[in-house]
Structures are given as structure tokens and as C-alpha cells.
Amino acid sequence: MDKNSITQKYINDLAYKIVGCAIEVHKNLGPGLLESIYEKCLLEELKEKKLIYNSQVQIPLIYKNKSLECNLILDIIVEDLIIVELKAVETIIPVHKAQLLTYLKLTNKPKELLINFNCENITNSLVSLVTEDFSVLPKE
């Protein structure tokens, strides 16, 4: 998709598809497994939906305009727009949300989803954050 035609609606529709894929994985597996298992299954669902993704994406760390010899590793980036961070934890804690904000800041992506598979209901535990860049995109 042309970067100039990206809208808030497009990104939100994409996020809706991603969450639908996560719900399908959760429905089939339930809670209690390792994050890596959920990731493999989620990637399979994304592939079935013909969504373009990259997993275990290494992001170079730039600190004070210097590239340092270490990389951040993001779980999944879908359509080069939405970061998907996966967890399989009992409770989402504030540091998990802080991590999302940091990833958004360092990558300049407009939206991020934190999906916790160790729960009863994916949508109830879902954390979705957007950036300032998202807010200035056209709505439709």
C-alpha cells in the first residue's frame, strides 16, 4: 500500500484482523503455553489471512545519534505498520506498557498491540497504543 494512502481506518482495520488471528489461536490452544508457541501459531494465522509480516525483527539501537552494537528484538511487525508484542504472563504490568511506548518511539510505527495469551479473553487483556503520527493521519 502507498504510504500516502494510509489512514487511521486502514491501520485500525489491520489491527482488528491481527486481533482476530490472536483470538483464533487462543480459541484453539487456550492459555498456559510458552510465548514462542503462540507466536508460531499467530504467524500461521497471519499467513492464512495473507498479511505481510516479519517476526523477531532486529531494530538497531541508536543512542545519542550513535548506533550501538546491540539490537532490540520486536516479536512481529505487520504490514510494516503495527508492532505486535506477545506475552504469556499472568498479569500485564506497567513495565510492559512502558516497553510498548519505547518500541513505538524507537521505530516510528503508528500503532502497537500487546497481546497476552495467558488470559481468559484476548480482547479484555489487549493493550493498544498509538503515536502522534497516527493521530495526524487522515481518518478515512
At 90, is the secondary structure helix, strand, or coil? coil
Domain boundaries, the chain: 3-135
Read off the pLDDT of residues 100-121 as tens digits, 9 standing for 90 and up: 888 898 888 999 999 999 999 9
pLDDT of residue 31: 95
Task: Count how many residues are written for the chain.
Answer: 140
pLDDT of residue 60: 83
pLDDT of residue 5: 82
| Number of alpha carbons in the 13 Å side-chain half-sphere of residue 62 | 7
100 with 80: CB under 8 angstroms?
no
- For 19-31, what is the mean pLDDT? 97
Rounded Cα gap, residues 86 and 38, in angstroms: 8
Whether pTM > 0.75 for this model: the answer is yes
pLDDT of residue 105: 86
Read off the pLDDT of residues 40-83 as tens digits, 9 standing for 90 and up: 999 999 999 999 999 999 988 888 998 888 878 999 999 999 99
Percent of the chain with pLDDT over 70: 97
Q: Is the pLDDT of residue 4 over 80?
A: no
pLDDT of residue 128: 95
Average pLDDT, the chain: 93
